[in-house]
Amino acid sequence: RRGAAGPAGASPEHLASAAEGVAAVARTHAVVLTHGNGPQVGLLALQAEAAGAEAPTPLDVLGAESEGLIGYLLAREVRSRLPGRPVTALLTQVEVDPDDPAFTSPDKPIGPVYDEGEARSLAHSRGWTVARDGDGWRRVVPSPAPRRLLEEDILRLLVEQGVLLICAGGGGIPVTLDAAGRVSGVEAVVDKDATAVLLARAVGAAGLLLLTDVPGVMEAWGTPDPRLVRRMTPAEARAFPAPEGSMAPKLRACADFVEGGGAFAVIGPLEQGPALLAGTAGTRIEAG
């Protein structure tokens, strides 16, 4: 959550809430878990700069650091709630296209929220691109589309062995491959919702749950009378007017998953996983 205290923006209270939400689903279902990292990537970059690093830490390295950090915290908390269940976190690389147009149009928010004056000052002094995000301003970086999870065979093997797997965090570590198969990290942060669809397909998931801190997709959001949308088709999800910085990527991901053969996708509160699966909470996207 925005403004959370604790290790790189992960407060103990929110970690406990996340772990309880995951465990509630995992007690009766096979679960593969992924997560975001936008605040943590930005905070780790600032920490490296404050420590006097001679050159900025590359975003792929920061992505790996944040994936390891959050993966460890989630694995620790989930394991504590599921005694005897095998739980592990795995660093995951995701291939992107080096010619993706996103590299010339950065739009993915990372790091803390600033007021406009501070954001523009930081953009000038650090060579950042900044943009409005809600009521504040944040640094934005390229967000190319994910093409393939390099470790997908390993992920499937672990899932087949009954492991509750935490992987592809923050959209995965962005890399490119040359003709000889050599891997190189790139300066980008991949959208976590788009990577979640790749991950779900890779492990043969029946359902995709995008867990967040709002009741679901809301009509008239920001007005005195917001209304929860309970059901949507993929076409309705794509057409729904939603902000690019928040709900739009989730709606696209749900539509992509269902159109690609997934049984259903749901957007809703982290704490209500079983209710989301039962269809009594959140917004459910499925074929008409």
What tens-digit pLDDT sequence spans the chain (288 residues)? 655 555 555 678 888 989 999 999 999 999 999 999 878 877 888 787 777 766 778 999 999 999 999 999 999 999 999 999 999 999 999 999 999 999 999 988 888 889 999 999 999 988 899 999 888 999 899 999 999 999 999 999 999 999 999 999 999 999 999 999 999 999 999 999 999 999 999 999 999 999 998 999 999 988 899 999 999 999 999 999 998 778 999 999 999 999 999 999 999 999 999 999 999 999 999 997
pLDDT at 50: 78
Please report, for residues 56, 122, 128, 217, the alpha-carbon distance to residue 118 in angstroms, rounded to integers and kept in the order given: 20, 6, 12, 32
- Main-chain phi, psi angles of 109, to 5 degrees: -70, 135
Q: How far apart are CA 130 and CA 140, in angstroms?
A: 5
Q: How far apart are CA 145 and CA 155, in angstroms?
A: 20
pLDDT at 8: 56
Q: What DSSP state is assigned to residue 286?
A: -
Place of tokens 């093409």: 147
pLDDT at 3: 56
Q: Residue 84: left (phi > 0), alpha (psi -120 to 50), or beta?
A: left
Yes or no: say if 189 and 141 are a contact pair by the CB < 8 Å rule. yes
pLDDT at 7: 54
Yes or no: say if 40 and 9 are a contact pair by the CB < 8 Å rule. yes
pLDDT at 133: 87
pLDDT at 135: 87
